[in-house]
A and B are shown apart, each in its own frame.
Chain A
Amino acid sequence: MPSVLTQTKENFESGRRSPVREERLEALTQRIGRALFRRLRSTAPSFWRLEKVEDSFMKLMMRDEDLRFRMLQFVDVFPALGGTRSVSRHLEEYLSSEEMGSGAGHGPLGRIARHFGRDLPGVRNITAATAQLAITRMGNHFIAGHTPEEVAVRIRSMEARGFHFTLDLLGEFVASEAQADEFARRYREMIEKFEDLLGPLPDALADQPHLQAPPRVNLSIKLSSLTSKFDPMDPEGTSAAVRERLRPLVRAAREHGAFINVDMEKYEFRETTLRIMLDLLDEEEFRGFPHFGTVAQAYLWDAEESLRWLLGELAARKQPMTIRLVKGAYWDSEQIWARQKDWPVPVITDKRLTDAMFERCTRILMEAAPLVRTAIASHNVRSVARALALRKMLSHPPEAFEVQMLYGMAGPIKDAVLRSGVPVRIYTPCGELLPGMSYLVRRILENTSNESFLRQRFSEGAAEEKLLASPHEPGPEDFEI
């Protein structure tokens, strides 16, 4: 009897999916999804509550596109502003200038007044101090701490609740070798010292069998932070420059037992990023290093092609790796960059198709076990449920699977997944607000986007059936008769 794995693989490859298996998989996905939602209901969502000032700030941004644009621009400049006077002057300018508006209409102040059910003078009282408070709190919400010490405190309590972590160091855009050195130094310090900051492993984690394999300290790095010459036009030179700083990090990781994940950035960088990793793993000293990971972005039209290529390269080398599957964080930027250059837009522009691509890639990844470990990074209950269903149907090895989510997002979903017995890793940013602003703006864009699962679930209260609908065929018409 052929194993489930080969059978489903064949079906997938030949494009003739077994309707029975497909149906069973979908039914299981729905069951798991509903179970997750049941667990959700018993937990109060932390972020999407109106009382908090940052929540109402977010609500304000979702009111209309023009306001969202103005507020995001304001959030972007905020950490660079000196004192309260400067903050209030900029706030005033951003909310009153017609010049900067996206043309969606005038009088943003008026709309804010209506939003808060107040008159105009009342709104002018949304003073700099309020905005300051809201943005600082939003920063604190998505960024775990300014220093490794602060972050260690947060992580300790996450670990005590049973979560794993991966650290992300926020920093300046690297335009010089000095800045790249500084990043390398900070990464190295984390690899060498962070475990000491954390102290002993809490029981909640020691109990999880899965943790025996991957190291506790897990670092997510961006290769563009390791050189000022990251240029996809010159992959050889870029690879050489990056590996110069990457080698000592991987050596330190080997020595101290840490895991290094290479995050994926803009599309233009993808090929070079993957190439650098493979170049490094082809070096005698690093061959077979098991605690290395990278990211596959499903929001790209060629996501599947790229993933298959990578899996092929890994298989040829018998190189183990953890691959984090994400949708992708640069959706808005990619569109703008491509349009400005009149290049083909690399990202999928239909959310349903992104979700479908995510599920296809989930399966391709999981079929590459045990050489490849799968990390499903999504806050979308449907996307996660599908992976959990596949896990059952493929008898996927438990130590080769985890779910990852971002710090400050989808708290109840994290809990629900964790309680269903699946390891959950939290991507935890560390750094000051100023260099962390681009990260923060991406998070706000993501959370306030019309297409966001979290927004639909927690802000719009969309129906569970709709949220769990299969992305593989169009859902029922959204039309009441």
Chain B
Amino acid sequence: MSIAAPVHTEKVPPFRNEPFADFSRREEREAFKRALADIHARFPIEAPLLIGGKRVETAEKIDSVSPSDTSLLCGRSASAGEAETDKAVAAARRAFDDWSHTPAEERAGLLLRAAALMRKRSHLFAALEVYEAAKPWREADADVAEAIDFLEFYAREALRLSGRKRLQPYILGEHNDLSYHPLGVAAVIGPWNFPLAIPVGMSSAALVTGNTVILKPAEQTPLVTWLYARILEEAGVPAGVFNFLPGRGEVCGARLVRHPDVQAIVFTGSKEVGLLIQREALAAQQDGLPFVKKVVTEMGGKNALIVDSSADIDAAVPDAIYSAYGFAGQKCSALSRLILLDDIYDVCLKRFQEAAESLRIGPAEDPGTQLPPVIDDEAAAKVNKYIGLGRESARTIYVGDVGSLAEKGHFVPPAIFEVDSSKHRLAQEEIFGPVVAVLRARDFDDALRIANSTPYALTGGVHSRTVSHLERARLDFQCGNLYLNRTITGAIVARQPFGGYRLSGIGAKAGGPDYLKQFMVARAVSENRMRHGSAPLEEHATETWEEF
């Protein structure tokens, strides 16, 4: 089994981020409108399972509707049951031997071809996200750009980590080296909020390091992820190396996690499901498995932005608004706590409130929309429940009105509540919606204390022009991604490797230098090359151990 054209390592140009579309240009807007019309004309899109290189239909289907207009059926996906799940695992297992022995150059080549194909159709992919995930234009475009970045970045990372690395110190007559090897079959369980970038990132990392993959997309967004499966097919992924398995989490997701032939589980989603996966993986362990399941999870956040007394409020307010309400707060990095220093509290809160009041709520396909709907009924109910809680137990600063939009889609109002304790549920629990808890801090130390008072540690931000406060934040603000004087969402591959710790997840940062190693085991080999006093002259290591 061999796929087309490996890449020549020396010919791969240095990594460069995929630029976002410039929608201030007329041609770009026109092109995007055409893509929206084009994808709309293809509805309903049918997404089958892809198992062992074959498309498989199932009797049960999962409808995918637009959150902006629930009467719009974007398409349907097949829904894998336990039998199909087992077949997919078996196919992945069968393909593993060949794939794991395929040179890294060929595996990297697959990713680079997929990136090129995706780049060619970036507007079409983004347009589908606009409908299926209710991502506003820029958000959808950014998601596609990030997916391309992951493919390009991990291809290069895999090349960097491939081969045998001679270990130092060099000892005469003794040859020591270290190399990385895949784990086996990886189950990748994706979220709906970045329906392309995150599944692409997780699965391409597993693939390029030699694992075979079963990708289960989120039930809400199977179609966007299916487009990625189509791209991999087109790029020539060998049968069984990549399997696409839409289905219900409780059925095929649960089966994948417990399956004895699945070595690695890579998940991005809620804390509840993430912890459940940990437990399930551990439970499956008792059946006498010959390995410990590797679990990589990226979970939620309760992210805070501190606005210091010396902040530029003109900049802090729009940054806070975008971080909190961009994509209706449905990013794990989204701002949900705004911590304002006492002396700017009133001014800043007033401006933040007025800016929130000015947000235009609407369907994602309208380029004037600033606040799109949330993903589904359940999400809307959760947001409304927390708004109810806020009304009862906190001071309501603002709750918007979605009017008749609520009848059309999963629209929820933007909301701001003032809470006087960092222990308040609104300041502790992840809502995943456009709801912000505002807290007052006496001074900067107090602000940091409040910021650090949740069990999460994902993103955080400080708006301040006091150098020593920024320095303190670097040292003491507990979060995986700290953003100073900017928005706290929108991490870019390689520039801002992304991921948190504590209850925000376990695992290395996506889009960073450590990510691929999670999908591999390291093997060290030591060979005695001395035979009766004859040893090779100390070759100068062709490959030295670089800084990893």
Contact = CB atoms under 8 A, between A and B. Distances in A.
B24 A176 contact: no
Contacts of B17: 342
Interface in A218-271: 228-229, 231-234, 236-238, 268-269, 271
Among B29, B366, B466, B467, the one with the most A-chain Cβ atoms within 10 Å of its Cβ is B467
Contact of A178 (B24, B321, B354): B354
B315 interface: yes
B467 A232 contact: no
Given A90-B466, A176-B357, A341-B20, 7 more contacts: A76-B465, A86-B310, A90-B310, A93-B466, A99-B470, A233-B137, A234-B366
A204 interface: no
Nearest to A236: B368
Contact of B355 (A76, A93, A175): A175
A341 to B, nearest CB: 6
A2 interface: no
Contacts of B459: none
Interface string A149-185: 0000000000000000000000011011111000000
B465 A80 contact: yes
A202 to B, nearest CB: 37
Interface in A82-127: 82, 86, 89-90, 93-94, 97, 99-100
Interface of B: 16-17, 19-20, 22-24, 26, 29, 137-138, 309-315, 317-318, 321, 343, 351, 354-355, 357-358, 360, 366-368, 370, 465-468, 470-471
Contacts of A176: 351, 354-355, 357-358
A237 B318 contact: no
Contacts of A236: 368
A75 B368 CA distance: 36
A173 B318 CA distance: 9
Contacts of A82: 309, 343
A83 to B, nearest CB: 11
B466 A343 contact: no
A97 B467 contact: yes
Given A99-B471, A178-B354, A229 B370 contact: yes
Interface in A37-95: 73, 76-77, 80-82, 86, 89-90, 93-94
B328 to A, nearest CB: 17
A93 B309 contact: no
Contact of B16 (A233, A272, A341, A342): A342
Contacts of B26: 271
A234 B321 contact: no
A258 B204 CA distance: 62
Contacts of A81: 310
Contact of A175 (B22, B310, B358): B358
Contacts of B19: 341-343
Among B138, B309, B465, the one with the most A-chain Cβ atoms within 10 Å of its Cβ is B465
Contacts of A175: 314, 317-318, 321, 351, 354-355, 358
Contacts of A86: 309-310
Nearest to B471: A99
Nearest to B311: A80
B368 A231 contact: yes
A338 B29 CA distance: 19
Interface size for chain A: under 10, 10 to 19, 20 to 34, or 35 or more residues?
Answer: 35 or more
B421 to A, nearest CB: 27
Contacts of B467: 90, 93-94, 97, 99-100
A433 to B, nearest CB: 13
Contacts of B315: 173
A73 B467 CA distance: 11
B364 to A, nearest CB: 13
Contacts of B354: 175-179
A236 B369 CA distance: 12
B125 to A, nearest CB: 18
B355 to A, nearest CB: 4
A77 B20 contact: no
Nearest to A93: B467
Among B24, B321, B351, the one with the most A-chain Cβ atoms within 10 Å of its Cβ is B24
Nearest to A232: B24
Contacts of A178: 354, 357-358
Given A173-B318, A175-B317, A342-B19, A233 B24 contact: yes
Contact of B310 (A77, A177, A233, A272): A77
A280 to B, nearest CB: 19
B265 to A, nearest CB: 35
A52 B532 CA distance: 86
Contacts of A232: 23-24
Contacts of B471: 99
A3 to B, nearest CB: 37
A396 B360 CA distance: 48
A94 B467 CA distance: 7
A238 B367 CA distance: 10
Given A94-B467, A99-B471, A173-B314, A237 B357 contact: no
27 contacts: A77-B312, A77-B465, A80-B310, A82-B309, A86-B309, A93-B466, A99-B467, A99-B470, A173-B314, A173-B317, A175-B321, A175-B351, A175-B354, A176-B354, A176-B357, A178-B354, A179-B354, A228-B358, A231-B368, A232-B23, A233-B24, A233-B137, A234-B366, A271-B26, A272-B24, A341-B22, A342-B17
Contact of B368 (A97, A229, A272): A229
Contacts of A94: 467
A232 B355 CA distance: 19
B343 A80 contact: no
A343 B24 CA distance: 12
Contact of A343 (B22, B29, B309, B468): B22
Given A82-B309, A175-B321, A90 B23 contact: no
Nearest to B319: A175
A344 B280 CA distance: 50
A233 B358 contact: no
Contacts of A231: 367-368
A80 B315 CA distance: 13
Q: What are the nearest 5 A-B pairs in CB distance? A: A237-B368, A232-B24, A176-B354, A173-B314, A77-B465
A94 to B, nearest CB: 7
Contacts of B20: 341
Nearest to B367: A234
A81 B341 CA distance: 13
Interface string A171-208: 01101111100000000000000000000000000000
A73 B321 CA distance: 24
B335 to A, nearest CB: 15
A10 B283 CA distance: 85
A94 B310 CA distance: 13
A86 B464 CA distance: 13
B365 to A, nearest CB: 12
B360 A229 contact: yes
B368 A73 contact: no
B367 A73 contact: no
B355 A228 contact: yes
B67 to A, nearest CB: 20
Given A81-B310, A233-B138, A342-B16, A271 B317 contact: no
A30 to B, nearest CB: 41
Contacts of B355: 175-176, 228
Contacts of B343: 82
A234 B351 contact: no
A400 B358 CA distance: 41
A76 B312 contact: yes
A237 B365 CA distance: 13
A80 B24 contact: no
Among A73, A100, A173, A272, the one with the most B-chain Cβ atoms within 10 Å of its Cβ is A173
Contacts of A179: 351, 354
A172 B368 contact: no
A271 B29 CA distance: 13
A435 B367 CA distance: 30
B85 to A, nearest CB: 41
A233 B370 contact: no
